[in-house]
Amino acid sequence: MNFLITGGAGFIGSHVGERLLRDGHAVWAFDDLNAFYDPQFKRRNLRDLQALAKPFEFCHGDITDRAALDEVFAAARFDQVIHLAARAGVRPSLADPALYQRVNVEGTVNVLEAARQHGVKKITLASSSSVYGLNSRTPFAESDIVTTPMSPYAASKLAGEALGHVWHHLYGMDVAMLRFFTVYGPRQRPDLAIYKFAKLILAGKPIPVFGDGSAARDYTFVSDTVDGILACTQRELGYEIFNLGESQVVTLSRMIELLEGALGKKAIIDRQPLQPGDVPITYANIDKARARLGYDPQVKIEAGIQRFAEWILGSEF
């Protein structure tokens, strides 16, 4: 099949593209290589994909540019779209909420509408565990009422879920919305905590720890997230929302301990106040994904951090 991956040069997108290429599919990666973090990271990912010598094409473009999207859709007949492109991150969204609205909401409308007008019936979209906000029940289940987003980023992702439902309801598109939970692993974005902490530990510099270290996250190794994404591409779902997490909660302090062990170096802790928009815990109930997708995460945090450390120790950046 022919797959279009928006955000296809990014962390998760490049892993999805690699898996699809290895499985014999053709992949087009649509990405604007913006300066949210150093574009050299995405260019390295593209080189890795091109080195596979499989049917792969990179398309440089922005999802807020409808004409650029139409040009890509007109150039190839796509069987499915995997929409991963977005402005990411809770804290950066506080600084520029309008940008997050434009890219994550208007950009998603552009992708959905381009897919519809060019006859693509199936689309898989990235949402986020951040939509749960200050959810009082754990683990978080897809049936929970989500009305308390805590950041512009979370609100933009919640809007994306609603838009996906509209395009399913009005036009019969098959839509899967995937709530990712703190994805990590090789090729991780440099703005994410595990990458930043590893680089600072290796450099002998202090790592900023917001709060007392008790904040807990459902860290999910990237290969497990990719398994869930591809499972959606292989099923007719109508409109469904799925949690893709490890369903294992790890505190910030424990994650730092694991990094120290994998890197063979102690961290210097710089305690700072809690940040606006942060939530105390993310924790995925994955019963629905197990039952409907056969989703079965395999990589526990201890093994995942070790694999990440091996990658970063050999990384050129």
**Which residues are part of the catalytic machinery?**
153
- Which residue, chain included where needed, has tokens 């990666």? 29
